Amino acid sequence: MIPLDGTGTGVDVAPGYRITAPGLVGTVTARPPRPPGAADRGPEQATQALDLAFGLSGFAEIMNFDLDVREVPPPPSAPQTRTAAGEDAFVLETPDLGPEVGQVVVVLDEAGAVSWSFPESADHAVEPPSTRGAGGVKRFVIRQSTPVPPAEAGERGLFGALGRKLLKVLVYPVVDAVLGPVTEHFANRWESARRPYLVRSFLPDSFRRPASVPLGETDWNRLGRGRALLFVHGTFSRSHAAFHQLPDQTMQELHRRYQGRLLAFDHFTLSHTPQQNAAELAARIPHGIDLEVDVVSHSRGGLVTRVLAGELADAGVPGLHVEKAVFVAAPNHGTALADADHMIAFLDRCTTLLNMAPPGPAEIVAGVLEAILTVVKMVGHAALNGLPGLTSMAPQGAFIERINAGRRPRAEYYSIAADYRPDRSGPFWAMVRDTAKDAVVDRVFGGAANDLVVPTLGVSEGSADPVFPLAGDRVHSFAGATGVHHSNYFEKAATSERLLAWLTGE
């Protein structure tokens, strides 16, 4: 264990690694990397899904640091280091391994929150970067704050002790052996190879499994014989992952009511806009097939659904007629997390949700995390221009402004949303806490109600467009229900009840 004395004097914590932490007193313990799949889950209790995702994405741990610290006033002469958001921070310096290797640091605190830290370029450094060693160093500025104690007794997250942080130093190849260099086109190449477009069957005995076989001629002809039910997933996901939590009895009943006409649309969520998604679906509907569908959408899938329903005059889908659509946690008026300034917070939040409350088996969650890690690589190389699928959800972005100034569709719209209320001893407290007040204040959303990813009222409200607000009997809100968040709607009984009541009226 290496002591930290709070003065801000740099401390060598392992060969080539240094921490400068004014205002933090305690110890740092260097730990060798934990082999993927090891029985010892490490002090962070790493999940199998995260291990699998690291392996799929080419990430490897090279060093871990366990911090057991408390905050104290720093000396007046101590260097002032702050994050881009203006928060007190400390600095981790790591060996620069050369231009062929990317580096990121994953920070886990004892409350369970996961955050990503990227190397600071020299022109943004608070002080000139050190050049110890022939290869120089990478410099990471990491948020310093330690959590306030939970107000309720119980499990305190990963480490079970206040003031604990784990820093995991990860590396990955800058040039993928199959997909090429990490540039603004990387997400498109990754989705083309790993997440191709697919219109698939979505039946009770298969909806929880990935699919690779598209609908055939017989399937399309059957779908055209009556109203069908289409499932449209959200960001980072695929159909089998997004709707995995729907109960068997719900899917069986939907199968009965729609006489087996259930299908799902797997699509790009990173590199294509909702308009491009709709065009790709149109290209896959055989000539001469006329479909009447109801839609169940999750998250960003709601924006794709609105394009399918004809809200944009130049982006409809000939031969597809949306009659009813249920938006589950759809960012119909955007989400602040999709702004470029909050992209890292978006990654932090989604990683934490999936790591601490996985909505399914490890292989399903790992697939979603793999998409997040693809974006991590791109953020590390300033390649945000290659992510129009994400930025289409920005509240002041061109897509949200255009869709909400579009035309009123003939479809009937319904919505399900939540105002997340954390258990103050649970894993997500660290993401939304305000350390100065005894209240939950989400720093990203400025205190507005949200489900950790999407604003609650943004799913069904709005006054400057022809579609919203939705009528009260077409809106369901989990307001004040502890523990309902963006990733677990479909396991809730009320979600199934609303889907069955709204879609078929039985």
Query: What are the 10-residue block averages of pLDDT along the chain, 506 residues in total?
Result: 91 95 93 74 67 91 92 86 83 94 89 84 42 69 64 36 79 93 95 97 96 96 96 97 97 97 98 97 94 98 97 87 98 94 91 81 92 96 92 95 92 95 60 43 79 93 83 90 87 96 87
What pLDDT does residue 12 have? 96
CA distances from 112 to 162, 246, 351, 386 (A): 11, 26, 11, 30
CA angle 434, 440, 445 (to 5 degrees): 85
What pLDDT does residue 430 have? 55
**Partner residues linked to 3 by β-bridges:** 27
Residue 497 sits at φ, ψ, to 5 deg, of -60, -45
SS3 114: strand
Residue 361 sits at φ, ψ, to 5 deg, of -60, 165
What pLDDT does residue 152 have? 35
Tell how far CA 399 is from the center of its chain: 20
Burial (CB < 10 A; 0-12, 13-18, 19+), residue 380, is middle
Alpha-carbon distance of 138 to 295, in angstroms, equals 48
**Partner residues linked to 427 by β-bridges:** none
Helix residue spans in 238-326 (DSSP H) = 239-242, 248-257, 274-284, 301-308
Whether 173 and 100 have beta carbons less than 8 Å apart is answered as: yes
Q: Which two tokens stand for residue 354?
A: 């999936």
8-state DSSP, 410: S
pTM, entire model: 0.91
The single-letter code of the amino acid at 44 is E
- The two counts, helices (H) then strands (E), for the chain are 13, 19
